[in-house]
Amino acid sequence: MQTYTEHEFEAAPGLPEALPAGEYILWQGSPDWKLLAAEAFHVRRLSLYFALMIALQAVMSWDNDVSLRANLGPLMLSATLAATALGLLALTAWLSASTTMYTLTNKRVVMRIGIVLTLSFNLPLRWVQTAQMRPCGDEAGHGDIALDLKGDDRIAYLNLWPHARAWEIKKPQPTLRCIANAEKVGAQLHAAWQQRQNEIAASPNADAAQRDLIPVRMPASVYAR
């Protein structure tokens, strides 16, 4: 697995270097920032939480002996602080989505992620053990595709987040978050993965140890929220 920085010098959008002969792009995409804000940054849940807390504050602190302005002042302050926090989270989600590019080729998955420090993770398909798709959001067709990698190599969870499967911290799983047409992309990934495994198995240069690493199948399953 290779990691690159600084996408200003990309050979093509989302790719840190030109693809070698025989390799070509099957799909490119980015997260839907609104869904990313809801799914990864939990803006909707936090909005409900803040609304409940402000309502509770109003019930607990309302004083009929003081003016309406005096009662509303603390509530307006709380609402302003809540709106600021939610706005910052939404802005972070937008920046994260706008600087992210996922690329699927016939041989690898490339994830260009990061807002301040941009990283590109090069994930060869032969290292992918399983891929799992989870629908997300209310819009039909959007979902996450998590990649479970073989071997002992690990990508730090904090380096991946929010492009990682939730709560898989011990063995982080790189995840294509909140992408459109997730089922179609998953099918393309599965087909490319199967073709790559067949190429490796048939290669005269593949030694026994490498063949032993080739999994028998790549199940397409849906994991729970």
Per-residue pLDDT of 5-35, as tens digits, reads: 444 556 678 888 888 888 999 999 999 999 9
Q: Which two tokens stand for residue 13?
A: 């959008």
Write out the H or E segment, with its range, that includes residue 47. Answer: helix 43-61
What pLDDT, on the 0 to 100 scale, is given for residue 211?
42
Go through 88-111 and write b for each residue having 16 or more CB atoms within 10 A of its CB, e for each that does not. Answer: ebbebbeebbeebbbbbbbbbbbb
Q: Which two tokens stand for residue 128?
A: 């992918």
What pLDDT, on the 0 to 100 scale, is given for residue 196?
87
Which regions in the chain score pLDDT beneath 50? Answer: 4-7, 208-225
Contact 25, 104 (CB under 8 A): yes
What pLDDT, on the 0 to 100 scale, is given for residue 74?
86
Gap between the Cα atoms of 133 and 144, Å rounded: 6
Gap between the Cα atoms of 140 and 158, Å rounded: 29
What pLDDT, on the 0 to 100 scale, is given for residue 215?
37
